[in-house]
Chain A
Amino acid sequence: MSKYVLLVSERADDFEFVSEVAKSANMQFHRETSPENAVKFAAENLCGAIFVDVSDIEHLRVFEEHVQHHLGLFSDRADPNLIHFMSDDDLRESRNFVLSPLFGNFFQRPLFQVEDFAKSYGRFVAAGSEKSTHELKNFLEGGGVQKVRITNTGQKQEAVEAVRQYLIRAKIRPRIANLIANAVDELLMNALFDAPSDEFGKPMYSATARSQNRELKEKEKVTMSLGFDGVNVGISVTDQFGSIDRARLLNHISESYRKKRYNIRVGQAGAGLGIATIFGLGGSLVYHCEGNSKTEATILYRVFPTFREFKSQFKFFSAKFYS
């Protein structure tokens, strides 16, 4: 039986976008304008994705109340991994979203190329609706995926430069290539230094200088995957710890230092600045964490002829956690 994509919104543009997403994800589409009816629908039908208009924080509160009343906040039917928040605002301007126990996926409504982005998002929804189908190749429209295994922290720079050179050879503008290379740099640093944790969950290298060369033990080895289908670039970095903390991740992703001072703290090498920067400078960011097993962080970009279009592209954030 095909799963449903359920839309909870009164807006016509949401209808247009999400119905296209459902088509691309090969799921049935159903819309409810009332949160109460939507939750009742989710209770009786198998949903592969639930899209909720959270333009107004009150909408979200009402939805949460109905979920709690009819399903329970920790029900499989209201799994945050399947819930997609939609807003007109940037995540950093609406930090309240991330505090919701239902937060799992977020996007700011696309302003242009709506149909194309809906198709891409549909691929992401389809791939992400099951733990087993979450793979970089499934986010892209064809093209191969190359994998590189990092066995020493000193290989990070080579890997970043290799990505940059690959993108430049693929005729991607140097500024875009530099930005993507920088994002890869941040993901690799997180995987090499922040992810490794001991048997008690204590980080082992988070306070270690990032310039230090370290041979990686088997479990510390990191895999980087790179795919390009001619339109979309995707890069995944996978560690074998699955140690990322949900609350910290969501705090970092929604952090903004645009209006407040950034205070450097001793002993906190990254302290989330890298993650905040990746999302702040464009592109989508997807975290897939299987507790104590692996964290796969993926960046996805659509390539445009100009940086201006590139930067204003539709982007989303996803944090999927599995125990």
Chain B
Amino acid sequence: MFTVTKQKVSDGLLVELQGSLEEHMNLDEQIGVFDGALTVNCRGITRINSVGVKIWMRYFQTIAQRGHKIKYVECPPAIVEQLNLISNFSCEGEVVSILLPYSCTVCNNDFVAKVGVAELKENNCIVPSAKCEKPDCGAQFDDDPNEYLYFMQD
């Protein structure tokens, strides 16, 4: 199940994408026509298959060619993986923020923490530490930092 929630914002349109991105999504229909910039909140995306990648790229490439500015916010691991695998996956859009995955083998909790890409760059791509609300949480960043932040390399 894939859903799009739309909201008009001062510089254009904000869309929130939820679910798995695959052959049944139709971004042309689900986002439709808009003025100004397009901000895409990706937090709710769980996975994306190869057909989803093609639909995504075809749509956002067209949007970029029409002169719309694209901003991606709160990109979850499923989207960061694609940014790392495909050099032009962002289709000239700006990746504003991503979600960093953490996991704890003590409290067996998985969670994500939002971080701005500019902030990460300022800190030389050092991944911040994070804890969940449990006092004995021993959460650690659950990926290889160099691999996860590969897309930020120039």
* Chain A contact residues, CB within 8 Å of chain B: 157, 173-175, 178-179, 181-182, 185-186, 189, 209-211, 257-262, 264, 269-270, 273-274, 276-277, 280-281, 305-308, 311-312
Q: Is the interface of B mostly helix, strand, loop or mixed?
A: mixed
Q: Is B24 at the interface (CB under 8 A from chain A)? A: yes
Q: A178-B46, A178-B47 are in contact. Are A258 and B53 (CB under 8 A)?
A: no
Cβ distance B154 to chain A, nearest Cβ, rounded Å: 12
Known: A175-B110, A306-B105, A312-B144. A262 touches B47 (CB 8 A): no
Are A307's CB and B101's CB within 8 A? yes
* Apart from the given pairs A262-B57, A264-B61, A308-B141, 4 other A-B contacts in the complex at a CB distance below 8 Å: A181-B47, A185-B49, A211-B23, A274-B49
Contact assessment for A311 and B85 in the assembled complex, using a CB-CB cutoff below 8 Å: no
A248 CB to nearest chain B CB (Å): 15
* Given A211-B24, A258-B85, A311-B147, A273 and B78 contact (CB-CB distance below 8 Å): no
Interface residues contributed by chain B, number (CB under 8 Å): 34
Q: Evaluate whether A262 and B51 lie within 8 angstroms (CB atoms) in the complex, with A175-B110, A311-B143 already known.
A: no
B residues at A contact (CB < 8 Å): 22-24, 46-51, 53-54, 57-58, 61, 77-78, 81, 84-89, 101, 103, 105, 110, 140-144, 147, 150
Interchain CB contact under 8 A, A174 and B87: no
User: Can you name the residue of chain A whose Cβ is closest to the Cβ of B81?
Assistant: A281
Beta-carbon contact of B85 and A280 below 8 Å: yes
The one of B49, B54, B101, B110 in contact with A182, judged by C-beta atoms closer than 8 angstroms, is B49
Give CA–CA (A270, B53) in the complex, Å.
10
Give the chain A neighbours of B140 by CB distance below 8 A. 306, 308
